[in-house]
């Protein structure tokens, strides 16, 4: 059974940094793509960054380009999101996601491309 568990969220002032982690368990070797999404109150869930499992290629959505870095540690089955120069508009619940057993259809990937999700970790950035 696949499980994704996020950690590392918290409160930080604008300009600060946080690192999110997502521990994956189960048959994650079948994953083709993993990523981070976020959802602010009253808004739709949106993409933050994704990484293609086999190639290691990454994609960053416009709002975080140059500030966030996604990475994976295959030995630890862990996905990371390093967030720098945080802004109040980065405040949201952050979710780890994985496509396991299939492939993403869209480029850039969309929410519907991912079939496993974590429970989320809250990030709050104050001005």
- Give the whole-angstrom CA distance, residue 41 versus residue 35: 20
The pLDDT averaged over each successive group of 10 residues in the chain (127 residues) is: 95 98 86 95 97 93 97 92 98 97 92 97 97
* pLDDT for res 82: 98
Rounded-to-integer distance, Cα 60 and Cα 39, Å:
16
Residue 55: C-alpha distances to residues 30, 33, 50, 72, 110 (Å): 14, 10, 12, 12, 19
pLDDT of residue 4: 96
């Amino acid at each position: 059974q696949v499980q994704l568990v996020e950690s590392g969220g918290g409160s930080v002032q604008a300009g600060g940094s946080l690192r999110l982690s997502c521990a994956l368990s189960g048959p994650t070797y079948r994953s083709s793509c993993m990523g981070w999404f976020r959802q602010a109150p009253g808004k739709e869930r949106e993409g933050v960054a994704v990484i293609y499992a086999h190639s290691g290629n990454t994609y960053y959505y416009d709002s975080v380009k140059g500030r966030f870095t996604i990475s994976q540690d295959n030995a630890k089955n862990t996905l990371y999101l390093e967030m720098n120069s945080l802004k109040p508009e980065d405040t949201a619940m952050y979710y780890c996601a994985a496509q396991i057993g299939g492939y993403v259809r869209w480029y850039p990937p969309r929410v519907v491309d991912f079939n496993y999700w974590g429970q989320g970790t809250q990030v709050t950035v104050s001005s």
